[in-house]
Structure 1
Amino acid sequence: MKKIVLILILIISFSSCKSSKRSKRKTNSSSQIITKRSKDYQVKQAVTYSEEKKAIPRTAANTPSKKVSSSKADNIIDYAEDFKGVRYKWGGTTKDGMDCSGLIYESFRAYDVVLPRVSRDMAKRGEKITLKNVNKGDLLFFKTGNRRNSINHVGLIVDIADNDIQFIHATSSKGVMTSWLNENYWLKAFYQARRIL
């Protein structure tokens, strides 16, 4: 009788572990957006997920060792940079795959700025600005030679140095990466810059 009770307890405990693993996977898959929470929860979350840094984009909530960014633009850039190296996936918005407008859409949405999901619609938001007036956090829009000659690519400015602009974006060949606007391909395809924040 003791053996049967012991076996039942083991079976129940193993099945409990199995279900908790499933719930962790659900947390890390498609719902990776982390919203603002109280300071107590942020510290607890950073400790809880410290071993899973690759699965959750970095934000103030789960980066205790990094200095918290001072502006919304810096926070959005930090969030976007956590997707570096993620493969390209048309329509993608997660670490499993990301497209250019998905990267921008999710990065801004993580900080309560809702944009349209498609780059050509994003280009209708905010204020059009000249390249000499851009700041970190502004958006660059491109026409990369598609048949309709419309805006079909977007990038987020992450740095301005040596009279050049660095932006993060998702390319079909290399996934999420940073590029410089003065690269021939991007300079020829550039269409406009816009300020959302």
Structure 2
Amino acid sequence: MNKRLWLTGVIVCSLLYITIKINSKYRELPVKQHQVISKALQYEGIPYKAGGTTSKGMDCSGLVQTSFKNIAIQLPRSSKAMSTEGEKVSIHEVVVGDLLFFNIDRLQGSINHVGLVTSVNDNSVKFIHSTTKKGVIVSSMNESYWSDAFVKAKRILLSE
């Protein structure tokens, strides 16, 4: 009887630990960052649509604008105009909720793409954005395409 009780306790504790570990990635974020990232991740897999801001289709700045609108922060509609907002930060200082701006060669303008940082680990900065080929996806700054196109990072959400 004691062995069963002990084994049940071990299994329950193990499952609880695994659940906490998986869910803590976003739960530990300040409320506003959590809300912005959660909203953006709801659009993962949505196809690209120029000028799109809905689950029928989304472009990069539409994704960011819609995600911030969820917490009552109004951002400009274009990635270039967004890049003038907030506080400039180094790529080495970015946190979840910061914006990354890019200059993609095939597009016009010095800043023509934006992504929203979803996670920062020792060797990786991941961000959600909308691409013409794959729609809304999460990418990594470790990918040479994105690191080569990177222009600057901005912080819209200040510490709570």
Tell me the TM-score range normalised by the shorter chain: 0.7 to 0.9
Map of 1:27-176 to 2, 5 A cutoff? 70-146=30-106, 148-176=108-136
Structure possessing the higher radius of gyration over alpha carbons: 1
Q: Which runs of 5+ in 2 are unaligned?
A: 1-25
> 1:148, 1:97 → 2: CA distance?
21
Q: Which runs of 5+ in 1 are unaligned?
A: 1-65
Higher relative contact order structure (alpha carbons within 8 Å, sequence separation ≥ 6): 2
Aligned residues with identical type, % of pairs: 46
Which has the larger strand fraction?
2
Q: How many residues align?
A: 132
Q: 1:149 deviation in Å?
A: 3.9
Q: Contact 1:143 / 1:149 at 8 angstroms: preserved in 2?
A: yes
> 1:100, 1:147 → 2: CA distance?
13
Residues 80 and 162 of structure 1: is their aligned pair in 2 closer, same or farther, counting only changes over 3 Å? Answer: same
The amino acid of 1:181's aligned partner reads: M
Q: TM-score, normalised by structure 2?
A: 0.78
> 1:189, 1:128 → 2: CA distance?
17
Q: 1:67 deviation in Å?
A: 6.4
Q: Contact 2:35 / 2:70 at 8 angstroms: preserved in 1?
A: no
Q: 1:118 deviation in Å?
A: 0.4
* Dislocated runs of 4+, deviation >4 Å: 66-70
- Corresponding residue for 1:55? none
> 1:160, 1:151 → 2: CA distance?
23
